[in-house]
Copies of this chain bind each other. A is one copy, B any other.
Amino acid sequence: MTQKDNEKHFKEKIKAIQDTMFVLGGKWKLPVILSIYSGNKRFNDIAGSIPGITNRVLSKELKHLEENLLIRRDVINDYPVRIEYTITDYCLTTEEVAAPLEKWGKTHRKKLHGKL
C-alpha cells in the first residue's frame, strides 16, 4: 500500500467517525434511543426517564432521530390523542455503538478516580 493510499484511508476513517458523531453524538441522542428502547413510548415518559433533559431539547432530538430513520413517530387517535415513539429495526444497529461507549465510560471512570 502506498503512502497516498494510507492517507486516503486515514481521512475516510476520520470522516466516518465524524459522521457517526453527528448522528449519535452529543449528550442526549443515545440516551433518548435507550429510553425508547427500554419501553418508553410517550413524550412525557421519555422526558421523565432521562435526568436533566428539557422539553425543548427532547423535541429537537426526537426530530433529529426521526430524520435519521432511527425512530418512528405514530399518532394514535384515541382520547386524548397520543403520540407513540418506537425505535426502528435499523435503530437496533446502534447497539453496536452504544455498548462499547457504555463499557468504555465505566472503565474510564475507574481509571481516573479509582472506583466510585
A108 touches B20 (CB 8 A): yes
Which residues of B have CB within 8 Å of A14?
30-31, 34, 50-51
Q: Is the interface of A mostly helix, strand, loop or mixed?
A: helix
Q: Is the CB of A19 within 8 A of B108?
A: yes
The quantity of this chain's copies bound in the complex is 2
For chain A, residues 57 to 116, give those with C-beta under 8 angstroms from any C-beta of chain B: 68-69, 90, 93-94, 96-98, 100-109, 111-112
Q: Which of B7, B20, B34, B68 contacts A112 (CB 8 A)?
A: B68
Residues of B within 8 Å of A10, CB to CB, are 34-35, 38, 49
The reply to whether the CB of A55 lies closer than 8 angstroms to some CB of chain B is: no
Closest to A37 in B: B10
